[in-house]
Amino acid sequence: MHDFPKDIALVHEWFSPRSSGGSEQVVRAVDEIISSLGSSASLCALIDAESIRSESWLSGRSVNTSCIQGLPFGISHVQSYLPLLPYAIEQIDLKEYPLVISSSHLVAKGVLTSPDQLHLSYIHTPVRYAWDQMEVYLQRSFLRRIGCGPVIRWQLHKLRQWDQLSSARVDCLLANSRFTARRILKYWGRESIVVHPPVDVDRFTFTQDRDDYYLCLCRLVPNKKVDLVVRAFNSLGLPLLIVGDGPERSFLKRIAGPNVKIMGYQNKQIVEDLMQKCRAYVYAGVEDFGIAPVEAMASGAPVIALGKGGLLDTVRCASRGIQSSTGILFQHQKVQSLIEAINWFEEKKLWEQMSSEAINEWAQKFSHDEFSKKFEVVLNKAWHAHLNKCTISSSDPFEFKKS
């Protein structure tokens, strides 16, 4: 262990009750790690709407925000200022902090630091809608439908340029999955260290009997491909519950058959109960990591999902042996491919053959404790390398190379 600075800058895109998910869990976990090291985290973000909420973990905390905080609707609609966000994040003054840690899915990694500062960035994704999923997002975009498509494409073109340029400012990159690491290498030309994010697996139990319904839980946005799941179950006639909210909700209701129930947002208690009793959790999108599938496995539920992205890290496919598997990964992002996977799952009655206890045990590999151990090792090694003017190896966090 090495002596860390007493005050460490911890940067995230935004703190808002309107957007609270896996990336915010990472920030909270890193904040706790910093405290455990005897240091304190100075929080920085584009906007902050959390510290004024008494029920928030940030209640009463001071957050250094950007110019977006004071703009009209900046707090409630920060993403509407997308063209300004790279500029805004660069205006946050961090020169007093020897160590800067950012949690980035859009622009947080782009903060400005000097050669005397160490900047370690945990990357949730290179901006999805600027890179490989641009067409998916634009497909049902309202702005595209009213003729603003060329303007949006130009803005995303400029964002891609800044995204790649700003990645060079980071000293040590961490990726939340092997898939994200490959995207970082492709788009930024940088190596990264894979540290899976923390999942609150202890919330769930795995001892309840499995019911006959299938469950899909996620934000209802185009890239999640919930429409593909709905169309598959329309054809199969099996009961499907869809939990979540988002701009796709009304569209999904229009195409859903009588066996498909769109439940909208549900509280934690209902989600836990549904996870713990479903026959299987179903997902057809490409995730950078995928928190919900791991939560499903913590509930003892098998996962039926597209065999791409972060789920290749988290789901052990039945094709490699049913007894040790945690689900099925289908090959193509098409309705027929999902139908074939579910038919096989039903014919073999795999929910009876897959041990809920074993599935839960596998999910423990993605717990908060596991994240904290791995993150602290990388942070310690990166700080040591910085002090000794070395670089940390992405392939082996315990190896150093002289700069």
The backbone region for 327, taken as left when phi is positive above 0, alpha when psi lies in -120 to 50, beta otherwise, is left
Average pLDDT over residues 113-140: 87
Q: pLDDT value at position 321?
A: 67
**Mind listing the pLDDT tens digit for each residue in 251-285?**
999 999 999 999 999 999 999 999 999 999 999 99
Q: 336 falls in which pLDDT band (50, 70, 90)?
A: very high
Instruction: Decide if pLDDT at 210 tops 80.
Output: yes
Q: Where are the domains of the chain?
A: 7-198+367-396, 201-365
Q: How confident is the model at residue 398 (pLDDT cuts 50, 70, 90)?
A: very low
pLDDT at 93 over 50: yes
Q: Are strands 400-402 and 390-392 parallel, antiparallel or unpaired?
A: antiparallel
Cα–Cα distances in Å, from 260 out to 44, 233, 256? 42, 7, 6
Which residues are CB-neighbours of 147 under 8 A, at least 6 positions away? none
Residue 77 φ then ψ, to 5°: -135, 55
Q: What is the pLDDT of residues 291-322, one digit of tens each?
A: 999 999 999 999 999 999 999 999 999 876 66
- Give the mean model confidence (pLDDT) for residues 318-334: 86
Predicted local distance difference test score (pLDDT) of residue 150: 85
pLDDT, tens digit (0-9, with 9 covering 90-100), for 17-39? 877 788 999 999 999 999 999 99
Banded pLDDT at 193 (limits 50, 70, 90): very high
Whether 142 has a pLDDT exceeding 80, the answer reads no
Q: Is the predicted pLDDT of residue 178 greater than 70, yes or no? A: yes
Query: How far apart (Å, rounded) are the C-alpha atoms in residues 307 and 329?
Result: 5
Amino acid letter for position 242 = I
**Res 402 pLDDT > 60:** no
Prediction pTM value: 0.92
Long-range contacts of 35-42 (CB under 8 A, 24+ apart): 36/372, 36/376, 37/4, 37/376, 38/4, 38/6, 39/4, 39/5, 39/6, 39/7, 39/8, 40/6, 40/7, 40/8, 41/8, 41/9, 41/10, 41/101, 42/7, 42/8, 42/9, 42/10, 42/97
Mean pLDDT of the chain: 93
CATH homologous superfamily of 7-198+367-396 = Glycogen Phosphorylase B; (3.40.50.2000)
Strands 172-175 and 118-123: what pairing? parallel
Check residues 233 and 223 and name the one with the higher pLDDT. Answer: 233
Question: How much is the average pLDDT of 8-25?
Answer: 91
Stretch 189-203: mean pLDDT, rounded? 97
Mean pLDDT, to the nearest integer, of 144-172? 89
Query: Residue 1 pLDDT more than 70?
Result: no
- In this predicted structure, the answer to whether residue 359 has a pLDDT above a threshold of 60 is yes
Long-range CB pairs of 317-320 (<8 Å, 24+ gap) are 318/350, 318/354
- The per-residue pLDDT for 2 is 63
pLDDT confidence of residue 400: 45
- The rounded percent of the chain whose pLDDT value lies above 90 is 83
pLDDT band at residue 3 using 50, 70 and 90 as cut-offs: confident
Q: What is the mean pLDDT of residues 397-403?
A: 49
Tokens of 391: 């670089």
On whether the 201-365 domain is CATH 3.40.50.2000, my answer is yes
- Give dist(CA 6, CA 28) in Å, integer: 18
pLDDT of the residue at 159 = 93
CB 118 within 8 A of CB 98: yes
Of 287, 283, 390, the closest CA to residue 341 belongs to 283
Handedness of CA 161, 162, 168, 174 (dihedral sign): negative
Closest to 179 in 3D by CA, of 248, 221, 133: 133
Instruction: Establish whether domains 7-198+367-396 and 201-365 are of one fold.
Output: yes
H/E stretch holding 297: helix 291-298
